[in-house]
Amino acid sequence: MKKKVFVFSQLDEDILQRLQAQYQVEVINPKLGDVNQQIREQVKDADAMIGAGRLLNESNLATAKQLKIISSVSVGYDNYDLAYLNQKKIWLSNTPHVLTETTADLAFTLLMSAARKVPYLDQWTKQGQWKRTVGEAQFGRDIFGKTLGIIGLGNIGAAIARRGFYGFNMNILYHNRREKLELAQPLNARYCGLDELLQQSDFIVVAVDLNPESKALIGQHEFDQMQPHTVFVNIARGSVVDEQALIETLKAGKIFAAGLDVYLKEPLQESELFNLDNVVTMPHVGSATAETRKKMAELAYRNVVDALEGRTPAYVVNPSFS
């Protein structure tokens, strides 16, 4: 009898077909109603799950009897109750590394768009406001030669720093739980405390992992230390930033602009952020290119196959019980 794979979100069609050729595959269908009830029913006899973007915990996984792996088509795994998965001896795998450069591209896109007021000026032009030479209200900020502060110098943070250093001759500061000499030295990046980075940087990009130390890392105290011309970018997780403090800071003009790809609540349907001209809002699309999503799906597929064929997947988040 074929092993069962439950696909709990939209999945690349080629990968889906490859799974169907090897295993019994069931696919979630939000049009049928209660998604969590579908999960509870399907995991009763599932050997593997693959997908992303859903909260998975005891409430919808308790019926699982033989689940070996949840293969997440993502790098982050804060949607999953890791303690519960460990208790149930269910592997959680992810897809690191393949989205580093794409996410760094998006971070720098946000930085540049916010600095040069791209969304605001796009609408301003389309609305027929361009009737004469632009004035100070339409002026942006220079990027070349300025100071870029990276909070979280992991692979993605370093990729963002490379774009600033090599592409825009930027001075790089970084704050991290520990120094990253191997990543910092080629960029002449200087390790510093968070307060110094906030005070000295013209551009600040948050690229930390979500963990107990990084939750609510940037609040009103941190925003108050930034310069009035600072451009703030968050591509990490929404809960790393006090969103209301950011809104108040932007409304008061205490920083120049912000570029955001992540939010406290997602999908973001209503927000004061939408009323501000000095914010660029993107719908959590750091890895959303056709090429990168294909690579992520391929890696998630390999994680599933390895687990079901008796091998330890290459990227297991919780390997301690294996």
CA 75 to the chain's CA centroid: 8
237 is catalytic: yes
Helix (H, G, I), strand (E, B) or coil at 51: strand
Give alpha helix (H) positions in the chain: 13-22, 35-42, 58-61, 82-88, 100-115, 118-126, 155-162, 168, 181-184, 194-200, 220-224, 243-251, 290-308
Rounding to the nearest 10 degrees, give the CA dihedral for residues 13, 19, 20, 21. Answer: 110
Distance CA 314, CA 196 (A): 38
Active-site residue, from 58, 179, 213, 266: 266
Distance CA 84, CA 146 (A): 46
284 is catalytic: yes
Active-site residue, from 175, 237, 293, 302: 237
Distance CA 188, CA 185 (A): 5
Active-site residue, from 116, 162, 175, 284: 284
Classify each residue of 3-24 as buried b or exposed e, where b means 16 or more C-beta atoms within 10 Å of its C-beta: bbbbbbbebbeebbebbeeebe
- Catalytic (active-site) positions: 237, 266, 284
